[in-house]
Amino acid sequence: MVFANRVKNIQESPTALITAKAIQMKRDKIDIVDLTIGEPDFPTPQNIKAAGKNAIDRDLIKYTMVRGMLELRQAIAQKLQNENGVVYHADEIIVTNGAKQAILNTILTLIDRGDEVIIPAPYWVSYPEMVTLAEGKAVIVPTREADGFKLTAENLRAVISPKTKAIILCNPSNPTGALYTRNELDALAAVIIESDLFVIADEIYEKLVYDTTPFVSFPAVHPALKQKTILINGFSKAYAMTGWRLGYAAGAREVIETTVKIQSHSTTNASTIAQYAGIEALNGPQEDIEHMRRLFEERRNFMHSRLSAMKGISCQKPGGAFYAFPNVAAYYGSTYQGTQINNSSDIALYLLNEAKVLLIPGVAFGSDDHLRISYSSSMERLEEGMQRMENALGNLLGGR
């Protein structure tokens, strides 16, 4: 069977083997501590669920405008002005089926065959494949652990070419939890403005930041950025609404109009029921969101402390999101019962087999020296997972 080249060029997930094995182990009733989850383990707040139920009960279930309900877009615009310091008209916003659709819409709008898109690594797994789907070229720029996994202005300038069209910036980062300071964003902004690049600013984890470093929305850094920044956000992470599939993009009117055109021929509007729930999420009480953030911060502190105390592991303290990204390369070259550990896939499979702990190999995110560990689980499961992991690593002959 012959498929389109755009599909042939999309890479299979490097986690397919370990995921299949974990699924089989769970079917066999083996107790797996699953630390791969990329969604909050909290329920959607009651007031938001009630708004969705109310929409159903009142038969508010018809199509909306492709770009989303005006009331929701106005609520998003108000949120962006009050919290992010950027002013958008409702017509400069599109509501999508999750932030992922907002990103793909944007890439399909901006990227032509051969256009280059800069993606700092470690990166979210879908960014390069979306660029490939648009027949663009993903230019992967490794960041250094010593720099907190943050792209520097110097490294950005070094990879810009005449073909560079855009950069994708995830802040806070999935998978590293890196959170950029205002000064760091200022430095990147200077290069971006000078080079006249589009910026796809994925800010889906903005509500989940810790310590004293404030979140800064990228288009708020400099007035010149707003026209060429497409701000991506949504309700999944902040409001524990992953299954509701509700996101949005805000940007220049002509960009958003084109994303509306694309969406009109794919999914049409986002779920009407979810949109009513989204209005309540933005306009209703926010106490549950802060409660969730505080619990994530407690877990972050535990995970960072626990991982940093393990032999052979270094771990940057995440500034946001709900992932730790420890360096486990010190164990490469180790052997256990005749099996050699050479990369992140090997060590992840080893930990699944020996510790019954499921983690994601860093190679999936463009960094083979690391593992991604989600702390979106109860403290009890995190403690159990870390103890199992430490015991299993102690068995590796080369562990040090």
**Sequence spans of domains, the chain:** 5-43+288-395, 62-283
Give the model's pLDDT for residue 390: 97
What stretch of H or E contains 361? strand 360-361
Q: Which CATH number is 5-43+288-395 given?
A: 3.90.1150.10
Residue with tokens 């470690």: 122
DSSP reduced 3-state for 4: coil
Q: List, for the chain, all residue ranges whose pLDDT scores fall below the cut of 70.
A: 397-400
pLDDT score at 400? 43
User: Which pLDDT score is estimated for 397?
Assistant: 57
- pLDDT for the residue 353: 94
Q: Pairing state of beta strands 164-170 and 198-202?
A: parallel
Residues 89-126: tens digit of each pLDDT = 999 999 999 999 999 999 999 999 999 999 999 999 99
Q: Which residues contact 368 (CB under 8 A, 6 or more apart)?
A: 343, 344, 361, 362
Give residue 250's pLDDT: 99
**pTM score of the predicted model:** 0.96
- Domain 62-283 fold: Aspartate Aminotransferase; domain 2 (3.40.640)
- If you search the block for the tokens 């065959």, which residue do you land on? 113
What letter does residue 42 receive in the DSSP assignment? S
Q: Do domains 5-43+288-395 and 62-283 have the same CATH topology?
A: no
DSSP code for 209: B
> pLDDT tens digits for 376-391?
999 999 999 999 999 9
